Structure 1
């Protein structure tokens, strides 16, 4: 089923990316009073966890530098409740999907069926060891098909993310180190220029790279060694393996149907850059 998990990731990820790439979600969060993008990001993504301290959000998200969560949590919730932030995230994300897809796709029987099957998969996986996924399982599933498709895709994204963190921990790859591996795997060089980490202090980035060199993950020039590339590929393979259980709930015919119904939806979102 690992190939199914990878294929579903490719099909569902563009649905989730509207939350981060399109304007509507950020506009909804700003309208509540969140000061900036990252206030809204941390407040709305962490909202299903409840009013937990910053160090819990840091642990659950895994790949942010020390102190980044604490700049937004819990202050972002002082005047705006987690519930309000979560609702704004859903409204904005669904609005983006609806705008990008247009009336023909969003009103189609195919989208409704895709939403139903995605939800069936998203509600079927065990929650043990899946902190973000388990938190989202406590959130009511929207009745609107577009919102339901986005919500269920997001559940599966966080389920995959929880498994990815487990794979990283097993390989002893830290959160910032994971960004370096991802950058190199995607042809970004130097990896310190990657958008998720380029803002970090140069001393911090140098320490991360030095640590990866000492372990033989990158060479003197900051590029993958053979061992480093094998490590990255092993992590991705295990991530796919751990992401497979939700799709066990679907029959082979349902999986084929879901893939067929998602293809035009995903193609439209990819063509628009999910924005």
Structure 2
């Protein structure tokens, strides 16, 4: 297929709606139930296991590096010990069952079996043909997994590929910007688009003191002000990070083409809105406070 240039923000918008549906399973009771059935019960162990399982039975260092904004000591409490409870293959199978149950519950059987779902899966798969493996460990590991036959699972799987492809590139940009994992979270939260500090603390393992220390470092760099808000320099850096992430992630969306991106965004928006209306995410997940 001939590649065409398109507004990089179109790729970003498409990614955002695909990622929204991908992320539903992290907050789903179905995931806890399925992982609990194979012996993985701690919420943090569940999270590390399902996202890292495609990498194989890796250690804490690999997970901390690939996930970037989790405190290493938190990761090390659960990895690699979780692989003694369940193998990566068992975790991946449990994850697939949870995703199936979650999508059927949030979207309904009619949407799951619709021609629109099959169309969205096909478009996403076409976009993913242009993803690259080099320097993208989470994407590359997931790309080794088979594409499910059921359209709703194929759509979710490919949304995961596109999410991890962008995410791996995004981490390279953060390293270049000299933002460590916590500093990246603090600046993202300050935009009003990231998770609240409470959710960061609960899921990423950082203490209030560590958060404040990171904010102090950012204040010293002129990226935050005394109230913890982004300065003009901080806002410019966050926008540059997103633009550079767009650049590194442009290939799948250029490959799909402007019309395909627009249609995939339209379909994905419908599915994401339905999931949101069904209560897919906690009400206090996003925001500055």
TM-score interval, normalised by the smaller of the two chains:
over 0.9
Q: Determine the C-alpha separation between the residues in 2 that align with 1:234 and 1:87.
A: 38
* Corresponding position of 2:30: 24
Gaps of 5+ in 2: 1-5, 282-289
Normalised to the residue count of structure 2, the TM-score between the two structures is 0.88
Deviation readout 1:217-274 (Å, 9 max, x if unpaired): 1122322111111111111222222222112322444334323433322221222242
Normalised to the residue count of structure 1, the TM-score between the two structures is 0.92
Of residues 188, 205, 214 in structure 2, which corresponds to 1:182?
188
**1:17, distance to aligned residue in structure 2 (A):** 1.7
Of residues 142, 164, 167 in structure 2, which corresponds to 1:136?
142
Q: Determine the C-alpha separation between the residues in 1 that align with 2:239 and 2:279.
A: 26
Contact 2:14–2:264 (CA under 8 A) maintained in structure 1 = no
Deviation readout 1:26-72 (Å, 9 max, x if unpaired): 21111111021111111111111112221011111111113121111
**1:180, distance to aligned residue in structure 2 (A):** 0.4
Of residues 185, 188, 193 in structure 1, which corresponds to 2:197?
193
Contact 2:32–2:41 (CA under 8 A) maintained in structure 1 = no
Q: Determine the C-alpha separation between the residues in 2 that align with 1:274 and 1:20.
A: 9
1:73 aligns with 2:116: no
* Corresponding position of 1:266: 272
Displaced runs of 4 or more, over 6 A = none
1:207 aligns with 2:213: yes
**1:107, distance to aligned residue in structure 2 (A):** 1.4
Of residues 232, 235, 242 in structure 2, which corresponds to 1:226?
232
Gaps of 5+ in 1: none
Q: Determine the C-alpha separation between the residues in 1 that align with 2:209 and 2:61.
A: 23
**1:173, distance to aligned residue in structure 2 (A):** 0.8
Cα 1:225–1:256 shift into 2, 3 Å: closer
Q: Determine the C-alpha separation between the residues in 1 that align with 2:85 and 2:272.
A: 36
Written as runs of structure 1 = structure 2, the 5 A alignment for 1:1-275 is: 1=6, 2-186=8-192, 193-197=197-201, 200-274=206-280
Q: Determine the C-alpha separation between the residues in 2 that align with 1:257 and 1:220.
A: 44
Cα 1:219–1:253 shift into 2, 3 Å: closer
**1:192, distance to aligned residue in structure 2 (A):** 8.0
Q: SS at 2:72's partner residue? A: coil
Contact 1:14–1:274 (CA under 8 A) maintained in structure 2 = no
Q: Determine the C-alpha separation between the residues in 2 that align with 1:116 and 1:95.
A: 21
Q: Determine the C-alpha separation between the residues in 1 that align with 2:198 and 2:148.
A: 35
**1:202, distance to aligned residue in structure 2 (A):** 3.5
RMSD: 1.9
